[in-house]
Amino acid sequence: MQTLIENVNIINPNDEFKHSQNILIEGKYIKEISSSKIDTKENVNVIDGNDNYVLPGFIDCHAHILAKGFHKEENMANPLAIHFYNGVPHGKQTIDAGVTTLRDCGSADLGVKLAQQRGLFTAPKLEICVTPLVMTGGHFDLMLPSGFDMEIMYPGFPKGRCDGPSEVLKKTREVKRAGADFIKVMCSGGVLTANTSPEFSQFNMGELQTIVNEAKATNSKVSAHCHSLEGMNKCIDAGFSSIEHGTFIDSKTSNKMVENDVTLVPTLLVHQYLYDNGFPSWDNYADEKLEKLKEIVKVHKENIKVAYEHGVNIVMGTDSGVIPHGHNLKELINLVDIGMTPKQAIASGTTKAAEFIGRDDIGSIFEGKCADMIFVEKNPLIDIEILADSNNIVGVIQDGKEVKNQCGVV
């Protein structure tokens, strides 16, 4: 099946702006791009692009497609099936926001990834870690003081808790066996877990190096949830590929990240949203979480600006799932606020994000690439806020198929 999209303006972050282009899609791939008439088969589906702007489908490098706030109370009350069915609206909301690929940093298992691939529900293509590795008493150890464990458990979904080199080695192997594309480790305290604090590091060097060495055996990257400055430096020394959040980063650690080719996924959107909107009244830990957020929102954006100014590789991530889904591209505004140009911010969620997750078939609009693209009526290089409102994303194509068609644009 061929689809011909006529009269669009193509924005590729690493290429010149191209006016009045025609794009021929065959199957899931882009077959031809030209400013001239394109020869097609007789049964081609022809679409008038209406002089809209076309960008690559975005890649959110940090989100949780099944999550709905990570409230322990809901884990306790809901049947397990609700955990999975949450992914149906979340997936569509994320697609509608312009995200066609998502790096799930904990919640989606191999079955969810396969369900998306088989077209059982509309969602971004998934790169998964299955579940993060957590130390006893650390961030996302969901054992409550009562002795009840609120961690979701079922066959094929390993528990993340582990301690010591032998346990972290086995746990790394378990999550790889369960289908993980990368390994995620909770390397500092966090906001959502009681009795942990973001400024403290977690896991020791022996444990961290064991995880990295085992991951390298299959060329798997290792990602660190980490707010702590000490924790970031331990992760860099251990050979981690990325730091997620990076709240307390400074200039010295930024330089160290550059020297060691470590990527930063700052997730600026999540903390400010939580601080502004708070937590449900029935959340027993709401006050504790808000106290931790007060310290984070004071410094997060300014510290990430320091990292950007020192040349740290930054890619877009939102931590959606902790906050409501479907607002992903609001993160681009935050990236512009720290000093990026609109084109650089777009690159952080497309070309640079694709390179980070090791995908050379997505992230840009060129012949031979997957036909993942979004359509907007106005030029986001002039006003990046256009992309922040999902209502402005008038069309989305994923793997050559229409997955959003607003106002008959595509």
* Residue-wise pLDDT tens digits, 225-239: 999 999 999 999 999
Nearest to 76 by CA among 291, 282, 289, 322: 282
Q: How many CB atoms lie within 10 A of CB 327?
A: 18
Whether residue 407 is predicted with pLDDT greater than 60 in this model: the reply is: no
What average pLDDT does range 376-384 have in this prediction?
Answer: 98
Q: Is the Cβ–Cβ distance between 354 and 59 less than 8 Å?
A: yes
pLDDT at 41: 82
pTM score of the predicted model: 0.96
pLDDT at 237: 98
Q: For residue 323, give every residue at least 6 positions away whose Cβ sits within 8 Å of its Cβ, in sequence order, or none.
A: 69, 269, 270, 273, 274, 277
How sure is the predictor about 48, in pLDDT bands with cuts at 50, 70 and 90? very high
What is the C-alpha separation between 157 and 138, in angstroms, rounded?
Answer: 19
pLDDT at 183: 98
pLDDT at 264: 99
In Å, the largest CA–CA distance within the chain is: 69
What domains does the chain contain, in order, with CATH numbers? Answer: 2-56+364-405 (2.30.40.10), 58-356 (3.20.20.140)
How sure is the predictor about 281, in pLDDT bands with cuts at 50, 70 and 90? confident
Q: Is the Cβ–Cβ distance between 163 and 133 less than 8 Å?
A: no
pLDDT at 71: 80
Q: How many CB atoms lie within 10 A of CB 67?
A: 24
Q: Is the Cβ–Cβ distance between 73 and 282 less than 8 Å?
A: yes
Per residue in 179-198, pLDDT (tens digit) is 999 999 999 999 888 778 99
- DSSP lists the bridge partners of residue 371 as none
Whether residue 20 is predicted with pLDDT greater than 80 in this model: the reply is: yes
Per residue in 349-358, pLDDT (tens digit) is 999 999 999 9
Per residue in 120-133, pLDDT (tens digit) is 999 999 999 999 99
Out of 98-107, 252-261, 267-276, 325-334, least confident range:
267-276
pLDDT at 220: 97
SS3 367: coil
pLDDT at 410: 54
- DSSP lists the bridge partners of residue 224 as 185, 243
Q: Are strands 2-10 and 18-26 parallel, antiparallel or unpaired?
A: antiparallel
97 membership: H or E segment, kind and range: none
Whether residue 409 is predicted with pLDDT greater than 70 in this model: the reply is: no
pLDDT at 287: 85
